[in-house]
Structure formats: structure tokens, C-alpha cells
Structure 1
Amino acid sequence: MKKQSKIYAIKTTIGQEKQVLEVFEQRVKAKGEPYKSAIKAAIWIKDVKGYIFVEAEDPTLIDELLQGIRHSRGRVLGFIDPSEMDKYLVAKPVIESLKTGDLVEIIGGPFKSMKGRVVAIDRQKSEVTLELLESVSPFPITIYAEYLRKIEGGV
């Protein structure tokens, strides 16, 4: 009978989450069974500093794999409810984080790689009006919000 897998948090040095995750994954592959079948997934969420998350059937296997990994600070006691992680795993639309005055970079379409300042936002149509910073005379253009990446907040 297989155990139910649960999500466990592993504490790491802030800024070293990716390195710890890579070494952890290498060890799972190198050790083979029963580690490969017991460790279901391992992820690093950029918004959660100092932690990586591992889905596994047995937490003691995680502890064994963590021994000697530089920058790992051990497993947090208990397990994480998957519903707590949903807010980090579901991508929110770019338009939700934008406001008037924000500096943005265009990442798609004919104006790709140009920068602009947000002038107006139409949340119903998911469109943003901005003034291009690199143009000689600032004229407003309207562009689909998913073509934008926020660089910094506005005034």
C-alpha cells in the first residue's frame, strides 16, 4: 500500500534556493529507488524567500537527502496544506499589478523592447495606454496588457 504524499518545506539560506533545489534533485536521481518513487516533486517559488517545497511520501527520505547540502537549513516540522500554496502557483494577470505612472517594458508586438510610462488602464478590455519614452515626441499608444512587464512603480 502506497503512502499519501504531502508537501514539506525546506528552509534554505535566502538567495540560495535554486542551488539547494538543483543539488537536491541531483541527489534524488543519483540515489535511485526508493527516493525516485517517493519524491514526487520539488519546486522553488520566487515569492517565498528562504524555502523550497518538496512533495514526498516519507519526510525521513527528505531529511536523508538534505544531509550535507550546503545552504540547506533542514526541513520545517509538519507539512504544508496544498491550498496554502495555490496563491503562489496561480499566475495573476499583469494588469492587476499595473497602475498609472508605472514604468513598463513592452515584451511583445511591434514595439517590443521599448519602454513606456502607463497613462491609462482599461481593465475590462485588458488594455493599457502608455507613452513611449524612447520616441522623439511622446504620443500615447494602446497595447494589450500581457505584452507588458512592469519595471518599477510610478509616482
Structure 2
Amino acid sequence: MAVESYDKQWYVLHTYAGYENKVKANLESRIETMGMTDYIFRVIVPEQEVEVEKDGETKIVKENDFPGYALVEMIMTDEAWYVVRNTPGVTGFLGSHGGGSKPVSLLPDEVDDMLARMNIVERKVADLNVEVGESVKIVAGSFSGMQGEVTAIDNDKQEVTVLVDFLGRETPTEISFNDVESVL
């Protein structure tokens, strides 16, 4: 059995949009029937619960964060790659250039962030030693590299509200403790 890496890693699958959960079910079934439980471990569709108001009622529904994608935790062997790639509904791997090339795995920080957002694992939160009125530098996310003033701190959510200059206006933005650092 040819093995790219003996470490289990996370990979992103392309699927037909709207068929992510069907692909998950198909792949989980194939893992069992084809004896791949030692090589393919978990299949996850990146979803989160959101509140939706309809007809005056508030309901909690699962919303797909990345339509057309699913995540698979696996050891990249030729056989495991073949099983996943040939699962009905899977159109390929993200980071594979075709022609039999193996895909690139996600970075551990990317996986940790995604699993934490889906409440599958608790993300380790950095200790943030700032106070309202102090400046912070944003080190991750859409505003990475920007600086702003802290206007509020929410220890329960482990977020700070930072005023960032967005299109010439100061815009309050909630950012995780992990995604900012103090500017001294």
C-alpha cells in the first residue's frame, strides 16, 4: 500500500452543490463496506446553526458554510484516495491538479478554526491583555494586518469589538481574542 504520509490529515472534497450530506453518507458507507476504517476517519460537512425568522417564528436551521465542499480526515494512501475520489457525488479534491496527483492537506490552524466554529472542538483561546481604548493589531481573518482601537470586550464570547478603518469609515468589528494582538 503506497502511503504519502502516515499522519491523518484533513482534505477538502469538491462535491455537487446541495449533495454534501449525501456525499458524507455515501462515503461513510463505503468506508465500512470497503474496509477503510484504518485510513479514512471522519467526514464533515462544514455547517453551523443560524436563527431564521419565517412567518413570525424564529427557527434554528443548519446552514452550509461552503456549498459544494466537504472535509475528510484520512491517511493518504493510494487505496484511500481511490475510495474517496470514486464516491458518488465527489468531483475531486481541492488542491489536486488532476492526472493522478494527490491533493494538498489543510493546515492544522485552518482545521482547528473550522472545527471550533462548528462547535466540534473547543478552540484554545489566547490570553488577551488589553483594555478598552487600547490599540490592537488584527492577525487573522478579513481584516488581517489592520490596527484599531478596542471599544468593547466580551469575555463570554471571547471577542473584542475593534474600530477598523473600512472604506474611509471607522467600523466596529467583533474579532476573536485569537485573531488580535496588543500593540505596545
Alignment of 1:44-59 (within 5 A): 44-46=45-47, 47-59=65-77
- The aligned residue for residue 66 of structure 1 is 84
Q: Which has the larger radius of gyration?
A: 1
Superposition RMSD on alpha carbons, in Å? 2.7
**Is residue 82 from structure 1 mapped to residue 108 from structure 2 by the alignment?**
yes
In structure 2, distance between residues paired with 1:60 and 1:66 = 10
Q: CA contact under 8 A between 2:17 and 2:67: conserved in structure 1?
A: yes
Long gaps (5+) in structure 1: 94-122, 127-155
Q: Distance in 2 between matches of 1:58 and 1:70?
A: 19
Name structure 2 gaps, 5 residues minimum: 48-64, 95-102, 120-153, 158-184
Do the aligned residues in 2 keep the contact of 1:39 with 1:56 (CA within 8 Å)? yes
CA contact (8 A) 1:12 1:72 kept: yes
Superposed structure 1 runs of 4+ greater than 4 Å apart = 123-126
* Correspondence list, 1:136-155, <5 A: none
2:12–2:72 CA contact under 8 A, matched in 1: yes
- SS of the equivalent of 2:38 reads helix
Amino acid at match of 2:105: F
- Displacement, 1:5? 1.1
Q: Hey, what does 1:39 align to over in structure 2?
A: 40
1:38-75 CA-to-partner distances (Å, cap 9, x unmatched) read: 11221111212211111111253343113543321112
Q: What SS does structure 2 have at the residue aligned with 1:11?
A: strand
Measured at CA, do residues 52 and 124 of structure 1 come closer, stay the same or move farther in structure 2, by a change above 3 Å? closer
Q: Any conservation in 1 of the 2:18–2:68 contact (CA below 8 Å)? A: yes
CA spacing shift, 1:39–1:124, aligned 2, 3 Å: closer
Letter in 2 for 1:48: F
CA distance, structure 1, for counterparts of residue 73 and residue 16 of structure 2? 20
Letter in 2 for 1:78: V
Q: CA deviation at 1:85?
A: 2.6
Stretch deviating more after TM superposition (82-91 or 42-51):
82-91
How many residue pairs end up in the alignment? 94
The answer to whether the 8 Å contact 1:8/1:59 transfers is no
Residue among 8, 11, 16 paired with 1:8: 11
